[in-house]
């Protein structure tokens, strides 16, 4: 009888340890995609009151599902997917930054810009969002690093204006 209660107690302790260790994974950011936020809590509270909640449904819809998209590489339009006005703009390299700084009406409906960074040297060039004409519908910028990157590096890479643009980043290592 004593051995059964001891083994039941050990099993219970093991299950509790397993559950506690898996909670950290549940609390972590979704899909390894992190949002660049302000450092102080006051600005987070103000943003939440203005309606800029942590709801990521629209971001995931735009970034993960198929929408009409422009693909730029080496400062040239490489491909266009879909019909109608594009909602997404993918920049395959940092050489394409100058293509988006033109005052072009074809970018008026763009809601998300995805930027692929190949190596840490790409972070030396600054993406100036405050100076981009023609992006009246822009809501999100999604940075895909092909190396380890963190919020501090991304914050130095992006020059943001007062526009309400949310910045997300992830580390994708191509195989």
Q: What is the pLDDT of residue 92?
A: 92
Calpha distance 56→133 (Å, rounded):
26
How much is the pTM? 0.72
Q: How far apart are the first and last CA of the chain?
A: 55
Q: Does residue 89 carry a pLDDT above 60?
A: yes
For the segment 39-57, what is each residue's pLDDT rounded down to a tens digit?
543 334 334 434 444 578 9
- CA–CA distance, 99 with 104 (Å, rounded to integer): 10
Q: Which residue has the higher pLDDT, 47 or 137?
A: 137
């Amino acid at each position: 009888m004593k051995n059964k209660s001891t083994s039941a107690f050990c099993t219970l302790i093991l299950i509790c340890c397993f559950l506690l260790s898996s909670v950290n994974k549940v609390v972590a950011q979704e899909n390894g995609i992190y949002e660049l936020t302000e450092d102080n809590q006051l600005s987070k509270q103000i943003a939440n009151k203005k309606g800029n909640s942590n709801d990521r449904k629209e971001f995931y819809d735009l970034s993960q599902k198929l929408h009409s998209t422009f693909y730029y590489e080496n400062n040239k339009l490489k491909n266009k997917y879909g019909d109608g006005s594009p909602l997404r703009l993918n920049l395959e390299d940092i050489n394409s930054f100058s293509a988006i700084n033109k005052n072009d009406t074809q970018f008026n409906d763009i809601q998300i810009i995805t930027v692929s960074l190949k190596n840490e040297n790409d972070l030396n060039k600054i993406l100036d969002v405050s100076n981009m004409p023609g992006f009246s519908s822009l809501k999100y910028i999604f940075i895909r690093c092909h190396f380890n990157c963190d919020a501090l590096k991304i914050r130095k890479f992006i020059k943001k204006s007062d526009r309400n643009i949310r910045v997300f980043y992830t580390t994708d290592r191509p195989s």
